[in-house]
A and B are shown apart, each in its own frame.
Chain A
Amino acid sequence: MKTCEACRLTVQTAGKTCVLCGGPLKIQLPDDFVPRYPAMDSGKKPKTKFTLLARIFLFLSIIAGSISLLINVLVWQGFAWSLIVVGGITIAWVLIGVPLMENMNLNLMLIFQMICVQIFIVLIDMNLGFPGWSLEYVYPLLYIAIAIVVAIFTIIYRMAWRDFLVTVMIMALYGLTPLIFISAGWVKVLWPSYAAILAAIFLSFGIAIFARDKFGKEFNKRMKF
Chain B
Amino acid sequence: MQPFTAKTCTLPVERILFRRWLGKVKYNKRMNENQGGIAINREDNWFQLDTAANLYPAIVSYRQVSIFRLCCTLTETIDPEILQSALYLTLQRHPSFNVRLKRGAFWNYFENNTNVAKVTEETGSPCQLIELKQNDDFLFRVTWFRNRINLEIFHALSDGGGGLEFLKTLVYYYLNLQGKCISTDGMIRTLETKADSEEIENSFFRYYNPAVNKPQPPEEKALHIQGKALPMNHLRIVQGIIPVDQALALARSEQASLTEYLTAVLFKSFFAALPADTDPTAMVKISIPVNLRNHFPSRTMRNFSFYVYTGIRFQDRELPLDQLIQQVQSQLREMARPENLQPRINPDVSYTQNAAMRIVPLEAKNKLIKQVHRLVGEDLFTCSLSNLGAVQLPESMLPFISQFDFTLSSSERIPTNCSMCSYQNTLVITFVSNIEERTVERTFFRILAEQGLEIKIDSNEN
A214-B44 in contact (CB<8A): yes
A29 at the interface (CB under 8 A from B): no
1/0 per residue, CB under 8 A from B, across A1-33: the answer is: 000000111111111011111000000000000
CB contacts under 8 Å to B, within A15-55, are: 15, 17-21, 34-38, 40, 42-44, 47
Contact of A225 with B134 at beta-carbon distance under 8 Å, contacts A7-B446, A8-B449, A20-B446 already known: no
B43-A19 in contact (CB<8A): no
A224-B48 in contact (CB<8A): yes
A residues in contact with B126, CB < 8 Å: 37
B104-A160 in contact (CB<8A): no
Contact of A47 with B134 at beta-carbon distance under 8 Å, contacts A12-B457, A37-B237, A222-B104 already known: yes
- Set A34, A37, A222: member contacting B460, Cβ < 8 A: A37
A160-B114 in contact (CB<8A): yes
Distance to closest chain B CB from A30 (angstroms): 14
Q: How far is the CA of A40 from the CA of B134 in the complex (A)?
A: 21
B462-A221 in contact (CB<8A): no
Interface size on A, residues (CB 8 A): 36
Chain B: residues with CB nearer than 8 A to chain A?
43-44, 46, 48, 102, 104-107, 109, 111, 114, 121-126, 128, 133-134, 145-146, 148, 233-234, 237-238, 240, 358-359, 438, 441-442, 445-446, 449-450, 454-462
B residues in contact with A222, CB < 8 Å: 102, 104-105
Interface centre among A21, A47, A160 (most CB of B within 10 A): A21
A19-B446 in contact (CB<8A): no
- Known A13-B459, A37-B460, A223-B105; further 5 A-B contacts with Cβ < 8 A: A9-B456, A20-B442, A37-B122, A159-B114, A221-B111
Which A residue's beta carbon lies closest to that of B242?
A: A9
B residues in contact with A221, CB < 8 Å: 46, 102, 104, 109, 111
A217 at the interface (CB under 8 A from B): yes
A residues in contact with B234, CB < 8 Å: 40, 43
A223-B457 in contact (CB<8A): no
A20-B238 in contact (CB<8A): yes
B residues in contact with A43, CB < 8 Å: 123-125, 128, 233-234
Contact of A40 with B109 at beta-carbon distance under 8 Å, contacts A7-B442, A7-B446 already known: no
A225-B358 in contact (CB<8A): yes
Which B residue's beta carbon lies closest to that of A16?
A: B462
Q: How far is the CA of A80 from the CA of B240 in the complex (A)?
A: 72
Interface centre among B111, B133, B462 (most CB of A within 10 A): B462
A162 at the interface (CB under 8 A from B): yes
Q: How far is the CA of A219 from the CA of B455 in the complex (A)?
A: 57
B106-A224 in contact (CB<8A): yes
